[in-house]
Amino acid sequence: MHSRGDIALLTISFIVCFFNNGCCQIPIVKIADGLIQGNIAKTIGERKIYYSYKGIPYAQPPIGNLRFRAPVKNKPWEGILNATADKDGCVQQMDFLPLAVKGSEDCLYLNVYTRNISGNYPVMVWIYGGGFSIGGSEYEYYAPDFLLEKDVVFVSLNYRLGIFGFLSTEDMECPGNWGLKDQVLALRWVKENIKAFGGNPDQVTIFGQSAGSVSVSYLVQSKQTKGLFHRAIMQSGSSLCIWSLTTTARQIAFAIGSRLGIVTANSKELLAKLREVDHNTLKLAENQVVYLAIAIDNVLNGLPMGPVKEPDHEGAVFSSRSHEDLKNGAFQRVPVIIGLNSNEAKSFLGLIIGLIKPFFGRFDLDIARLTPHDLTGNLTKRTLAGAEIKEHYFGDQPIPINPSSNLIKFASIDQFNRPIRETVNLLSRYTDVYYYQFSHRGSLGEFESDFPGVGHYEEIFYIFANKADANTEDLYVRRAIVEFWTNFAKYGNPTPKPTDNLTWISNSPKKKTSDGVFYLNVNSTLTLDKNPDEDDWIFYQEIYHKYGDPPFSTY
């Protein structure tokens, strides 16, 4: 509840502001850190009034001695904070151009959108994707209009990227996961402050796509987040995806130092000297090392700069094997929605044909490269498994002359479908898991091609309002997925009442193993089905049974 003083302040702010189309222009909110002035707008669809508060600091700028450290809570401000415009995104390369840099190190801000600052609405906290190297929380990328129309409070946050968010020497000098620790601090801010914006701090759903979905998965596993959220939605990623875990972090860190003329094998000395390098030079050095690592290493083995298994210490986001944690129930047992698009790797067509396909010639010479990274360390087993995988997906032909469709299917199954289905299997031993496949290939999709299915990221335009034009089928799918997501935020169940005579059945501890795995196929019609990509699933289950050496981290 607001105090009398708070109510008086809000009343005065509404009286003194001027009106435009009958709407107040200066809604002011009070939190412990100070007063915040936002903007007023109307949603694109139903033209409902909402308030936005953009660029609220939740941490001190991570610069100087705070670079490559856990974020530190921001300091209070005097006067009224102008929260009417997006702040700069975090340092990143510009549009995948390795020689172009944009963004600022002073980037740890979040945005709050609400329709009623005196309400008690469920809260949805969005974590953007981008391979842990690009992305931002700006309205132009993630406009929450359709979600707001369903009476939720929406929060989006920035977190550090690339070397600034994920540098690690794999020891206590630089344990890493700074970007994930930014997310944890932002969730603590939500817990402490969201009531002032009309949000319920005891009804928080975290959700994200791609690297944002992986982030959600790690936050679900982390001991640092207990009590900070109550539901989770993971779109196209989990901590079991091979690309979710960096296993060469120390090597990459010292390679960046070497690129900058820092010749040392000492972590403390490396960190001290890297903190002296300006952010633009540092980012360019990272790009050079990372692109070289991708070119000469196995591109299937994970990102060169991303989340790492930290040394075990009090502030670690995670310091154990993800597959083991999920198998043993060592995670926040909240209800989960998790799924993927019907042909994820389709969106990486240009990368696959232009960069990866020529390098696949090395896979014919070293067939063990096709084997899941964490399957086994035994070279004989890796080679035997790789031979079976080669035959299953590419037959007798050399991989580079295979149809691109074969490469896309292999990449989709290997990098997304298999690990996400395993995540469903493990989570559902302990909690309700609603599994989906987004299959609607509509006009809002970003990556049109001759290949079937829906690629990575294409579902975003059905949740957010950054593409307003939509045909009849698009509108149906949009209404359905927005309703599912916001129902889940409100009730922990996407269909508390049937939608189009359909009830989305969860996978849960109560379900019999013989029932298979339920999933919702989201298309121009909604259908409940079982066991997606079953042939590929059975194939890899046999691979893991014959050649796998647990315990695993990824899958």
CA 83 to CA 54: how far, in whole Å? 5
Quick one: residue 200, left, alpha or beta (phi over 0 = left, psi -120 to 50 = alpha)? beta
Q: Residue 52: enclosing H or E segment and its boundaries?
A: strand 49-57
CB atoms within 10 A of CB 377: 8
Q: How confident is the model at residue 345 (pLDDT cuts 50, 70, 90)?
A: very high
Q: Hey, what domains does the chain have and what are their CATH numbers?
A: 88-322 (3.40.50.1820), 341-547 (3.40.50.1820)
Write the DSSP assignment of 533-550 as a string of letters.
THHHHHHHHHHHHHH--S
Residue with more model confidence, 90 or 4: 90
CA 208 to CA 214: how far, in whole Å? 8
- Choose among 205, 211, 210, 204: nearest CA to 233: 205
The string of pLDDT tens digits covering residues 133-188 is: 999 999 999 999 999 999 999 999 999 999 999 999 999 999 999 999 999 999 99
- How far apart are the two ends of the chain, measured CA to CA in Å? 46
Q: Is 253 helix (H, G, I), strand (E, B) or coil?
A: helix
CA 216 to CA 159: how far, in whole Å? 13
Pairing of strands 199-209, 231-235: parallel
Give pLDDT, residue 388: 98
* Tokens linked to 516: 């298979």
Q: What is the mean pLDDT of residues 390-417?
A: 93
Residue with more model confidence, 535 or 300: 535
Residue with more model confidence, 545 or 364: 545
Three-state SS annotation for 90-116 = ECEEECCEEEEEECECCCCEEEEEECC
Q: Residue 80: enclosing H or E segment and its boundaries?
A: strand 80-82
Backbone angles phi, psi at 228, to 5 degrees: -90, -15
Q: What is the mean pLDDT of residues 403-409?
A: 90
Give pLDDT, residue 357: 66
The string of pLDDT tens digits covering residues 66-117 is: 999 999 999 999 999 999 999 999 999 987 667 789 999 999 999 999 999 9
pTM: 0.94
Residue 433 in this model has a pLDDT that exceeds 90: yes
Active site residues: 210, 344, 456
Give pLDDT, residue 352: 64
Give pLDDT, residue 40: 96
Give pLDDT, residue 298: 74
By the 8 A CB rule, do 482 and 464 touch? no
Residue with more model confidence, 520 or 350: 520
CB contact burial 385-409 (16+ within 10 A = b; e otherwise): bbebbbebbbeeeebbebeeeebbb
